[in-house]
């Protein structure tokens, strides 16, 4: 009995500080924000706030906000697609065709930028994409006399910047499930007469789907909530749900509307996670 | 045919690496370019680094960033390691639920977490500033610390500790003489992770920054929005080198994803 109590005390003592911290910084803020999203105005400076559904009503009434949500989803779709197209083949090459120390070095080189500052990496694209920037100069060098063009402050610029930010995620998750595939399965399929394409489609691809799904979710979710990248690379073309939420909190100071829009974004995210949960459950076990 | 295939694969990986590193390289080169209009050819000069050394705003923000990252590292590593120990060594009710609760800080977009922290902290009087940022950064770092330390703890199992206990060591002795040395590499890696998470964190800091109290990424963001200055290239170059250096250190202690 004493032992049981001591164990219980140990577990509580070890986990409570971390989880109290998380409650104060994640759970309570989200609850506060949910509450704010039902207010007419922020209850600061003696102003009287009343409960209302108006903030959510604004989203339903005004086509502008629905268009925004749609634009963010569309952006997430293109970014995720770009990451799959670039990242999956890279992960496959790394897991199945590169061996030994080279693989280790390449793997490190790929995940390294992912852990460096996202803001700085986004900023660095402005120098590549702007008129007279690197891309423009390269085009000029290959086609002399071609009209000068800048991609900065266009929609493709946002997609390129976000793909650059997130593609290491895709390579990482796909690599983990690809390198877990037993090579003898592939050899068995080959020796039974399957073509390289058939081996890929019937053996490698299905077995690597968990990593692919994980990558898709881990990229799609932050991509639809992005605001810094659209702001820096998209300029006027970069108005997204994320940038409008940012504005509500930093420029317009309409916190209740910002809170409601955040919760709509959160609802979209949760819906995606709920859809993906059965697919992800087996892969995302921590500790 | 096979040779050609091998070259195609190498070429593809080279292109992907180029995509990842090219913009960073361009930025670094421009940081050393004398021209403020990014004119070519590059004329090597450290003028922007000198300008940086005189920029009080950015220097103060850098100091804030480093202090914040250090505080975050200590708090997140201690709290996270404690929780990881509980997960690794005890089976208890609610264990799975507690582990699932580590996902929200990672999976909910930072924009939502940041703005909701702003709402709560402003409302209940915690306010904005470095202390508020510390609250936020620790929350984001905890899941990483718990996962990284947990992976290390899992790799050696409780057998060593049980052996020490059977041989008459007290729980305290067992922890310091047996568990601590074995889990040290995981803890070091987790601490470096925590430092990097905080040092690179922009979104949470941005919403919790008070006028005059901000971090380096927040200052950089406002500088970018006001208009490009080559000083930003210089400071960005330093940041990239610092955070990549930290992650190379992490790689020494902790192997990313799967066996290699």
* A123 contacts B136? CB cut-off 8 A: no
pLDDT band at B1 (very low <50, low <70, confident <90, very high): low
Taking a contact as any Cβ pair under 8 Å apart, which residues of chain A between 62 and 91 contact chain B? 86, 89-90
pLDDT of residue A285: 47
Average pLDDT over all residues of chain B: 87
* A29 contacts B119? CB cut-off 8 A: yes
Q: Has residue A287 got a pLDDT over 60?
A: no
> B243 with A116: CB under 8 angstroms?
yes
Q: Has residue A286 got a pLDDT over 50?
A: no
pLDDT of residue B73: 97
pLDDT band at B255 (very low <50, low <70, confident <90, very high): low
* B86 contacts A10? CB cut-off 8 A: yes
| Per-residue tokens: B94 | 């609610």
Beta-carbon pairs below 8 A across chains A and B: 260
* B9 contacts A265? CB cut-off 8 A: no
pLDDT band at A72 (very low <50, low <70, confident <90, very high): very high
- Segment A73-90 shows an average pLDDT of 96
- Chain B CB within 8 Å of residue A227 CB: yes
CA–CA separation, B63 vs B66, rounded Å?
5
- Segment B49-67 shows an average pLDDT of 89
- Segment A81-109 shows an average pLDDT of 90
By percentage, how much of chain A surpasses pLDDT 90?
43
Taking a contact as any Cβ pair under 8 Å apart, which residues of chain A between 155 and 194 contact chain B? 164, 167-168, 171-172, 175-176, 179-180
**Which of the residue ranges A207-221, B66-80, B222-236 has the most confident prediction, judged by mean pLDDT?**
B66-80
- Chain B CB within 8 Å of residue A14 CB: yes
Average pLDDT over all residues of chain A: 87
Across the interface, which of A10, A94, A127 has its CB nearest the CB of B30? Answer: A127
B138 CB neighbours in chain A (<8 A) are 21, 25
Distance from CA of A88 to the nearest CA of B (A): 11
pLDDT of residue B179: 84
Least confident of A7-21, A125-139, B13-27, B181-195: A125-139
Start-to-end CA distance of chain A, whole Å, equals 28
pLDDT of residue B259: 37
Q: Has residue B37 got a pLDDT over 80?
A: no
Nearest CA in chain A to B134: A25
Residues facing residue A39 across a β-bridge: A51
Tokens 């006001």 found at: B226
DSSP track, B181-211: HHHHHHHHHHHHHHHHHHHH--HHHHHHPBT
Q: What is the pTM of this model?
A: 0.87
Distances (CA, A) of B3 to A91, A96, A157, A191, B7: 20, 15, 36, 21, 6
pLDDT band at A26 (very low <50, low <70, confident <90, very high): very high
Across the interface, which of A103, A124, A242 has its CB nearest the CB of B23? Answer: A124
A252 CB neighbours in chain B (<8 A) are none
Contacts of A226 (CB under 8 A, 6+ apart): A75, A162, A240, A242, B109, B111
Across the interface, which of B26, B99, B108 has its CB nearest the CB of A266? Answer: B108
Could you tell me which residue, A79 or B25, shows the higher pLDDT? A79
Q: Has residue A146 got a pLDDT over 80?
A: no
């Amino acid at each position: 009995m004493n032992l049981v109590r001591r164990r219980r005390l140990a577990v509580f003592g070890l986990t409570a500080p971390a989880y109290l911290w998380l409650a104060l910084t994640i759970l309570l803020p989200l609850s506060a924000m949910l509450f704010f999203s039902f207010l007419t105005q922020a209850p600061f400076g003696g102003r009287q706030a009343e409960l209302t559904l108006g903030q959510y009503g604004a989203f339903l009434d005004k086509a502008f906000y629905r268009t925004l949500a749609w634009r963010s989803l569309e952006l997430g779709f293109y970014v995720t697609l770009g990451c799959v197209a670039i990242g999956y083949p890279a992960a496959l090459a790394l897991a199945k065709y590169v061996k030994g120390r080279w693989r280790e070095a390449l793997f490190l080189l790929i995940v390294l930028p992912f852990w460096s500052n996202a803001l700085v990496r986004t900023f660095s694209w402005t120098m590549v994409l702007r008129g007279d920037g690197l891309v423009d100069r390269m085009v000029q060098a290959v086609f002399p006399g071609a009209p000068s063009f800048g991609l900065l402050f266009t929609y493709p610029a946002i997609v390129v910047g976000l793909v650059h930010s997130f593609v290491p995620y895709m390579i990482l998750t796909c690599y983990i499930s690809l390198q877990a595939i037993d090579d003898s399965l592939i050899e068995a399929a080959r020796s039974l007469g399957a073509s390289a394409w058939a081996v890929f489609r019937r053996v490698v691809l299905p077995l690597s789907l968990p990593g692919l799904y994980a990558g898709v979710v881990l990229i799609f979710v932050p991509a639809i909530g992005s605001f810094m990248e659209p702001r820096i690379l998209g300029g006027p073309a970069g108005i997204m749900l994320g940038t409008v939420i940012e504005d509500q909190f930093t420029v317009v100071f309409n916190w209740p509307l910002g809170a409601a829009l955040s919760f709509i974004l959160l609802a979209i995210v949760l819906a995606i996670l709920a859809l993906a949960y059965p697919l992800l459950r087996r892969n995302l076990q921590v500790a | 045919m096979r040779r050609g295939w091998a070259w195609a694969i190498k070429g593809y990986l080279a292109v992907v690496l180029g995509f990842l590193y090219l913009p960073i390289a361009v930025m670094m080169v421009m940081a050393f370019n004398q021209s403020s209009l990014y004119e070519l050819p590059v004329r090597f000069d450290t003028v922007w680094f000198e300008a940086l050394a005189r920029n009080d705003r950015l220097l103060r923000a850098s100091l804030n960033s480093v202090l914040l990252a250090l505080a975050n590292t200590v708090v997140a590593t201690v709290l996270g390691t404690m929780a990881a120990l509980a997960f690794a060594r005890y089976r208890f009710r609610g264990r799975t639920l507690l582990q699932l609760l580590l996902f929200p800080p990672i999976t909910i977009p930072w924009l939502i977490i940041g703005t909701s922290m702003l709402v709560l902290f402003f409302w209940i009087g915690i306010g904005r500033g470095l202390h508020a940022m510390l609250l936020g950064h620790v929350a984001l770092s905890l899941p990483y610390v718990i996962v990284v330390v947990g992976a290390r703890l899992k790799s050696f199992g409780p057998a060593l500790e049980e052996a020490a206990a059977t041989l008459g060591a007290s729980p305290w002795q067992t922890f310091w003489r047996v568990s601590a040395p074995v889990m040290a590499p995981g803890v070091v890696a987790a601490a470096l992770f925590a430092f990097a998470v905080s040092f690179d964190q922009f979104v949470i800091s941005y919403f919790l920054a008070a006028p005059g109290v901000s971090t380096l990424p927040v200052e950089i963001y406002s500088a970018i929005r006001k208009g490009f200055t080559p000083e930003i290239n210089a400071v960005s170059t330093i940041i990239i080198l610092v955070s990549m250096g930290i992650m190379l250190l992490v790689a020494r202690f902790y192997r990313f994803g799967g066996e290699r």
